[in-house]
Each structure stands twice: as structure tokens, then as C-alpha cells.
Copies of this chain bind each other. A is one copy, B any other.
């Protein structure tokens, strides 16, 4: 490892030493030394995306599922820009990601060649840190800093700009990197005093909501939360859009925080809200006459911030509370009665019911879009134990790429992508990566042929959605997208389901398939 190598090899060796195992790449001419180094440095698997948003979304899914740092390799400012939307979501998910963005040779940069742009300005909104490598001798340290910053709790996105001439240069004596120096996130413990105060508040309060977010939504966190709930009657509510949450099996059913502000206010009315890894709820959008801050009338107690060790705090809290009185189940308001699935048409509820029924043990669901996602999350507690990733930042086009990354991180698991059709379009190129890498991902396209959320918002605002421009900008028919043809275009086997029976059968086939399978669920 201390043999002379070029900057690109030194960079990848250093990345490997910090725990990097996969590189989601869409490289160009300025990254060619890094591409060549991928052949020289064993252990970092290159995975090609046909569009940069596929790479960044896959990195996000990989990081959420594995907890390991994820690497992308992207081409200059414009290529990197194509990856920003999914990095926005990754930032909100606190996913540890390092983007290597190639740049022109340092000496070529002043000449403003066609592909020159201000990469730092593009990166800053989505990144906790942007590092520009400025000499061959600092490459290794820059990589270590980037990965360390990405992994610092609660996790973040870091961009490392790699000028092409420095990647080409010989690094005479690259620092020794012990092969086992992979860094692990260690979260700061919650002070004991805060746990004691939380216990006191729980015992005093008539009505408490424990709002679980981030890492507190893992199994251990939820089991501790259930003991607290059983002891005190506190309701367990999960944040609206968790990065990854364990659900089903013997885990406690969780309410989900509502979307619209008045619903959240109603949901939390009169309660003490205890934050466990979640942020204090704010409205998703600003609506005239509605507040931004949705807990203005609640008492707020912070047990743990997203950066702290919320799981340990919940366990400690559970330990100091009196044991539950036998037979008193936690109060909860999860709706368990679904509408009966219609025999002829396929409704979002029917899709959600069937998916909950067939959910394989330890599956991972990448969920995007509210059409089927909302109904599914109401029923997920009745499924076998699994994990669900949601869209944390609202930038659409996350679902299929995130499923790619999850499947790479957990090859033993069945990955399911429950995906609205409108948002699927933003990064549909991810279907190709599923096929090429033969990933066991079942993609369910919930095809209602419209931007459903926009039509909902317009109707709430009293608009007539049949007016020409409104219809034109929110309907996705004329022509209808043919998802079967699109899947075939990318080499993904597929079928269409227009009734609950057809969907049941298609799902059965999809969940057994080796490699990807796509189901177009034709919603009525």
C-alpha cells in the first residue's frame, strides 16, 4: 500500500480503508483515472447508473440500509447537478454519503472550458462540507476527512472535488491506511438528567405522544418505546417521513404523523410531545391561515436530538419507569379496518392490503408517493417484520434508486419498491441498473396517471381541476405511460394488474423472481 501509486488509486485505497465498498458511478472524461483505479483497487464495486440521480439515490438507499458510508462518482458540475435532488433527500435522511466529483485539471480551470462551472456553489445546499483536493499529497487525508464528516452523527452528505491532474499524479508515499480503520458512527449519549426529567414528565402527564424519528425507529428503539408506552399510556407516533423504520411482526403498531397541518394539530392536541430523534413538527408547506410550527399549543420535551443516541435513551427511560400494569395495552389510534377490496377494480387500499399480506420476512420497502404509500403505512403493522424507507426530503425520483442501493446493501433481503407513477418518471433509468446487477427488487408502479398530490392540493384550495391548464399540468394521460414497455426497454420482466386478483398473482410471481420484476398496478 505504500508503493507509489497515482492519486486516483490513493483516493480509492483510502476510501476502502474507511469502509467504502461500493461506488455508484456515472463518470466522464475528467474521472477516467478514477475509473481505471477501480480496476486496480480491489474491494470497491463499481455500479453504473445511466443518470446521476440514480447514483445518488442508490447511495442513499445503501447508506440507510447498511449504515456504511456510500460513495458516488460523478462528472463535473452539470453531472453532479443531476444528482442533487436525491442528495437533498439524503441530507434530510442523514445518510453518510461522499460524492467524488471530478473537475478539470487545476491548470485548465482558469480557461473556462465548456464544462467548467462553480461546483462548490452547486454542492453547498445539499452538503455539510465541500472539500476541494488541492494537491496530490493531501488526497488521502481529504478522503479520511470526507468520510469522517459524513459519518459524524447524525450523518451527512460530503462532496470531494477531485481535479483530474491530481488524480493522475504519482503519490510518492501515501500514508499507511490500516485495512480495518472503517469508522463507525458513535452517537453522543443523552445526559442522565434529561432522561430523568422525561420520566417525571411522563408520569405527570395525562396525555403524552412520543414522536419517534431517525434511529429511534429501529427495532430496539421501538421495543423500548413500547415498554414506555405500556408503563405510562404514552402514544407512539412516528415522524411522517422516516429514513428507515422497522415495522410489522411483533413490533408495536405506530401511528404516523399526519401530512396536513390541521390534521397534525388535531393529532397532537392537548398532548405533551416528547421528541425521540424527531424534529419538532412543522408544516410541509405554508398554507395561508395555518401555522408553520405545529406544536405551538403543545408542551415539547426533547428526549434525544437526531444526532444523539436515542435508542439508548429510550432504553434507559424504559428502565426507570414502573413496570406496566398487566393487561393495559397502549392507547393507539391506528386504523385497522381497511375498505373492502373491490372485486373488479384495483384500489390503492387493495394494493396496500395485498402487499401487507404477502410481505416477506425481513424485506425492505422503498416507498415513494402517497397514493399507495399512505394506505400501506396504515397496514404495515399487520405484515411480517420488515423495514420501510420513505422520501425524507420531498424531492421526487427517490424510490427506484433507493431500492437499487438497498438491494446492493442487503443482497439476502427481498426489496420492494412501492412507487407512484409520476415520481417514478424522474429516475426511471434505475430500472436498467436493477436489470444489470440482477437485483432482487420487486417494483410496484402505482399507476393512477396523474400527479395525485397536486390535484388534492388544488381541490383543497377550491380550484376546478378540469380547467385546461390545470388538467394539462396534473394529468399524465394523453398518452398514458406504458410501464410494461418501459420495463421491457430496460430488460426488466414485468406484468400488469388491473384487478385485486391479478395483483395478487403478479405480486406472488414478483416476490419469487430472481432479479428484478415490475408490476404496473393499474389503479381505477
Contacts and interface: CB of A to CB of B under 8 A. Distances in A.
A301 to B, nearest CB: 20
Interface stretch (A13-21, A84-92, A188-196, A210-218): A84-92
Interface string A131-161: 0000000000000000000000000000000
B485 A454 contact: no
A334 interface: no
A473 B426 contact: no
A43 B424 CA distance: 31
Interface string A19-52: 0000001011110100110110000001010110
A410 interface: no
Contact of A108 (B109, B122, B292): B292
B467 A282 contact: no
A283 interface: yes
A467 B32 CA distance: 13
Nearest to A474: B35
Contact of A38 (B109, B469, B484): B469
B489 A50 contact: no
Nearest to A82: B85
Contacts of A436: 478-479
Interface residues of A, number: 96
A480 interface: yes
A117 B113 contact: no
B491 A35 contact: no
Contacts of A124: 118, 121
Interface stretch (A249-257, A344-352, A455-463): A455-463
A491 B480 contact: yes
A479 B437 CA distance: 10
Contacts of A425: 50-51, 429, 432
Nearest to A107: B286
Contacts of A38: 469-470, 473
Interface string A262-287: 00000000000000000000111110
Contacts of A184: none
Interface stretch (A357-365, A391-399, A412-420, A501-509): A391-399
A340 interface: no
Interface string A443-478: 000000000011001100101000111101110101
A48 B436 CA distance: 31
Interface in A393-407: 393-395, 397
Nearest to A83: B81
B88 A458 contact: no
Contacts of A392: 114
Nearest to A26: B473
A286 B393 contact: no
Contact of A39 (B77, B82, B117, B469): B469
Given A114-B284, A115-B284, A482-B489, 5 more contacts: A30-B285, A35-B458, A48-B472, A77-B125, A488-B489
